[in-house]
Every structure is written in C-alpha cells, then in structure tokens.
Structure 1
Amino acid sequence: MGAAYLGDSLDLLRDLPESSINAVITSPPFALEFKKEYGNVNKQEYVPWFLNFAKEVYRVLRDDGSFIIDIGGSWEPGTPTRSVYQFRLLIALLDEIKFHLAQEFFWFNPGKMPAPAEWVTVRRIRVKDSVNYVWWLSKTPWPKCDNRKVLVPYSPDMERLIRRGYKAKQRPSGHNITEKWSKDQGGAICSNLLSYGNNDANSEYFKLCKEHNIKPHPARFPYQLPEFFIKFNTEPGDIILDIFAGSNTTGHTAQSLERKWIAFERNESYLVGSKLRFASRAKNRQVDTEEAPQLGFALG
C-alpha cells in the first residue's frame, strides 16, 4: 500500500501534488549537542532548516490533514540547563507557516537512559529526561480526528462505577456529573500523555537486520506512537507521509492499519534495512539493494 524513496526529502516533497496527503507523521533529527550518524542540525540553524520542510508539508497537506512531529529535548553545552529550541520551532511553525497547534502531546519512554551522564548519574544534580514533545499541528482548527478510535481501558474504579451506576451530583470542582457518566462507552478517553517503551532489541526488524548484516537505525521510535496518530487522525485508505523515515516504522504501521503510505529517506542503508520490516508479509521475496525507483506519484 505504499513506497519508500531514496533521496532528499525536501526535493521529494516538491514533487508531491498540492493537498494530496492526509497526515505527515515524522520524527526529525533532534538538535542534540553531539552529532549522530544519521545527521542532525545544530540548535542555531535548526529552526530555519526545519521551516523549509514545513512550508512544503503545509502545501501538500489536505485542509483537514495533520502534521505530527515527535521532537526530543536537548541540553545546553557545558551547563545543566535545557535548550528551548523545540519551543522556538513551534512558535515559528505557528507564526511563519501559519499552522495551528491542535494539541500538544508528551511521549513518556520509561526505559530511556539517564543522560547526560555528568549531570544525572555523576553529579546527581538533574533527573533523567524521559519525555519527548509531540506537536500535533493542522492547517485549520478542524483537522480530521476521532478520540473514539483511541480509547483506553477503563480503570478498576470506573468499571466498578459502570456496574453500580452513578447518582447525578455536582463535584467539588463545580462539574455537574449526570447519570450518563456511568454509561459504558467501550473505553476511557485517553490523555495527551502517551507511555510507550522503546526497547525493540527482540523485534523481528532487529533480528532480520542481524541476519542480513545490516546495521539497524540507531533512533527508532516505537510503532505505538505512529499507530496512535494514524488511528486518531486518519481513516483506512488515507495517505500517510513520513519525511524522515529512517527504518520506516511509520510506513510499516500504516500498512498494518490499511493506510496508503509514502516514506522519504536519504540514507540508503536505512532504506534497505527498512525492507526487512515487511519480510513477514513477503517471506519468499529476496531483500535487494537496488536503487529506489524514480519518483512518480498518482495520488487521488
């Protein structure tokens, strides 16, 4: 239901038709102090660098489309203080590109390593940073979404309340709670704190990379993160785009949820490795390292 393309995502974006994409879900390189093998821009250049991509994303998104950005925090060099580059980016996306902030989310990774070591594990003057910001942006204040598609299990207390019923009353907070509160809606409305671990060392992708002697992408996010927003913001048959695809977690997740997908990645080894995510769907196919096809879109 999709295709991954090797090349600079800014060039590839410019070849996409206007208003052709339902959701862009991506995790760009963060503005970290230390350089990563996949490439990352320094804090001083980060906002203008990212805005080039954002302008094209705005153009290709449908009016009810969503732009989901997973972006981690960063420390200032040599001091135990935090950078605010991701907030400067958010303000620029709203003021200069004219996106709307539909809502901010927070991805909590309970297994994240304590870093930077000097401040967290040596001097013990800071705690580990376990949360990424996730900006949910939209072209209009009314993007496609439905929180009934991402309900979570009721708490034991809520299950008990549903069984016993609820007497209408006003809470101390001032909220008027009616008998409808005890109606079983199939699950609870989730919060904007998303808790997903990110240790997939035992995943099929990781095992197959080892088998084929391919180095896994070093900064993979868990499939549950794109899964949440694909369910929340799109419908089967919609088109999902990841402009910094890496190992193509987004594309593989979109495929499993019956969405069309497009992935852009400039590192060929990551793109070749990403094919292994689909190996269970085509076990008899040979993994090849041929150059990605020429870009040619026919999006309806």
Structure 2
Amino acid sequence: MRDLLDHLRSGRVCYSTRRGAMISGDSLELLAQLPADSVDLFITSPPFPLLRQKAYGNEDQQRYVAWLTEFAKLAKDALKSTGSLVIDIGGAYQRGLPVRSLHQFRALLAFVDELGYRLAEEFYWYNPSKLPSPIEWVNKRKIRAKDAVNTVWWLSKTDEPKADVGKVRIPYSESMKRLLADPARYYTPKDRPSQHSIGEAFGRDNGGALPSNLLAIPNSQSNDMYLRTCKKLGFPSHPARFPLKLPLFFIEMCTDPGDLVVDFFAGSNTTGRAAEDLDRRWLSFELDRSYAAESAVRFIYDQGPENILKSIRQMTKGKALVVNGPF
C-alpha cells in the first residue's frame, strides 16, 4: 500500500487505516498515476446528470457521457486482467419534459464500443424507500411512476473476470426452508414445461440461494452510525450516499481478501468502509477536502465528539490522520 501511495503524487492523504487511505485530489489525475494492472475492483457511484445542480457537483447532461468516459478509460488502464469496474448510475428526466434521459445507456455503449470493456452483467439496484421524484411528474401531475431503480453496470477488461456468486448467497425463502426440511413432501424431480430439468441437487442445502441481478437494498438509514455522528457533531452528512450493502455485495463477489478496491467518487467513503470490513486493501479519491475529511467519521466514530471534531479540522487544513495505527 505504501508503494501505491507513493505513486499518487498529485493527491494528499486525508486519513489512512491499516488497509487503505482516503486521498483528497482530482480523480482524473489520481487515476492516471495508478500503476497498470494494479486494481482488482473499481466500484463507484458518480454524480448523476440531474437537472438541478447539487452541492456535490453533478455534471450537465450534455457532456456527461464524455466526462464519465474519461474516468472509465483511466480505470481500464489500471485494472488487472481479472478485474472489474462496477458503476452505479441513476436515471434522470430531460429538462422540462416527462421523458427520460438515456445518459446511463449512452455511457455503457461508450465504455464498450469506444474503450473495449465487456459488459459482464447488468444489475439493477431497487431502493424501495426512494422518495417520489421528480415532484412535477410524480406528485403533482401524477403522470409518471416513482423512479426507484438505478442501473449498475458490471464491466470487465476480459471475458472472464474474477467472480464467485456463491460468496454472496442470500437467505432461503420460507417455502425453500420447508422443502429443505422435508424434500420428499414438497419436491419431486421433474422436467418443467420450459424443458428445464430440475434434478436432485435442487433440494440440497447450499447455505443460501444464489442472488439475482435485482438487488433490493433500502437506502433509508436515517439513524445509522455515520448519520448519528454527523448530527451529533453538527455538520451536514454527504447528500448522495449509497448503502453499505451495495459495495459489500460486489466486493465480496469480485475480490478476495487482500485485493485492492478503488472508489474514484468516494463521497462519504461507503466503499472504503465496506472494503475495510471485508479485509480488502482500498483507496478512495474525493475532490472535496471537506467531504473527504468528514468521511473519517466512518472510522473514528467511537473517539468522542471533541476528538472527532479536532481530527476533522486538522484534516481539512491538510494534516493526515492515521487511524488504528500505520499500514
């Protein structure tokens, strides 16, 4: 990890842990300085091209695809041949019209056609707690349904990136639990009308079911550790966070302990926290030094309000914090 940090000359370490570091700087410059074939997984959620300008700096719809493609190109250069790029891109409407923008699909085509990525699989993150938006079309005129799904593109450098879906099994349904408890009563091997053959192995307990590419993950943590600490300290939380379970899923599926995970739109550093919890090395890049410093809350929440505030002030002014000892 120290060797990697030595490559990132244009950024400044905001804080570091035993497994990773938050770097404050321009992600385009930082990505360009990563060694070739060094990263196992990029996972990120870029600012979406929303019609209303947000505090975290979302891009205009007209140049969004070209802007995002610059980052994807540099990420591809740094990826290992077995590595993956997972990118969460939300939808948006065209200005003044109840018609959807195609930016996330145009971005995918640019990544594949121009940069040579493979689309390993498309995922859809369903957020059942997402608020109705845009208000004009959903709440007021009621001519569109609530937008509750983000596209998540799983892209790779080669046809067979590292992956093991068996590591991200989900709990069995109640009916499956009953079948496993008494297979003879609930299940008889046979061919389905679709001509798929369902054999004896279907009744075997594998510790959980294989997941689908629809990830139902609420983003309604109104009182989690990060938000509680931000509220206690009196500063605003990052306005565009994705839930911890989303990076956990892809980090678990696409990497092994010790692999390197990088997020180049880190925000509140959900990805770094997830990678730390799963014993992966990680690097997070964030342009806004204040957001980068405040994300340390995810790692020092137990140090008491005064100590946390002191550390955040020091990081905002340029000092690097070491969390839980050096690398």
TM-score (norm 2): 0.87
Q: Is the contact made by 2:128 and 2:148 (CA closer than 8 Å) also made in structure 1?
A: yes
Which residue of structure 1 lines up, in the alignment, with residue 292 of structure 2? 271
2:43 to 20, 25, 36: 25
> Residues 66 and 233 of structure 1 are in contact (CA less than 8 Å); yes or no, is this contact kept in structure 2?
yes
Give 1:280 deviation, angstroms.
Answer: 4.2
- Tell me: CA distance 1:281–1:18, structure 2 relative to 1, closer, same or farther (3 Å): farther
Query: 2:224 — aligned with what?
Result: 203
1:230 matched to which residue of 2? Answer: 251
Measure how far apart 1:282 and its partner are: 5.8
CA spacing shift, 1:292–1:65, aligned 2, 3 Å: farther
Tell me how far apart the structure 2 counterparts of residues 100 and 211 of structure 1 sit (CA, whole Å). 45
Specify every segment of 5 or more residues in structure 2 that has no aligned partner in the other structure, as ranges. Answer: 1-18, 321-327
Give the match for residue 233 of structure 2: 212
Q: How many pairs does the alignment contain?
A: 293
Which one of 61, 70, 79 corresponds to residue 43 of structure 1? 61
Answer whether contact 1:113 1:128 (CA < 8 A) is retained: yes
* Deviation of 1:51 (Å): 1.1
Counterpart for residue 67 of structure 1:
85
AA aligned opposite 1:287? S
Q: Unmatched 5+ residue regions in structure 1?
A: 294-300
* Secondary structure, aligned partner of 1:247: coil
- Whether the aligned pair in 1 keeps the contact of 2:229 and 2:301 (CA below 8 Å) is no
SS at match of 1:240: strand
SS in 1 for 2:267: coil
Q: Which residue does the alignment assign to 1:183?
A: 204
How far off its partner does 1:281 sit?
6.5
SS in 1 for 2:296: helix
**Contact 2:20-2:283 at 8 Å conserved across structures:** yes
The residue number in structure 2 matching 1:287 is: 311
Q: Distance in 2 between matches of 1:91 and 1:268?
A: 33
CA shift for structure 1 position 63 = 0.5
- Does the 8 Å CA contact 1:6/1:292 hold for their aligned counterparts? no
Structure 2 match to 1:133: 151
Q: Deviations over 1:112-154 (max 9, x none)?
A: 1111111111111111000000000000011111011100111
Shift of 1:292: 5.9
Distance 1:160 1:213 in 2: 49
TM-score (norm 1): 0.94
SS at match of 1:216: coil
Aligned with 1:287: secondary structure?
Answer: helix
1:157 maps to amino acid: S
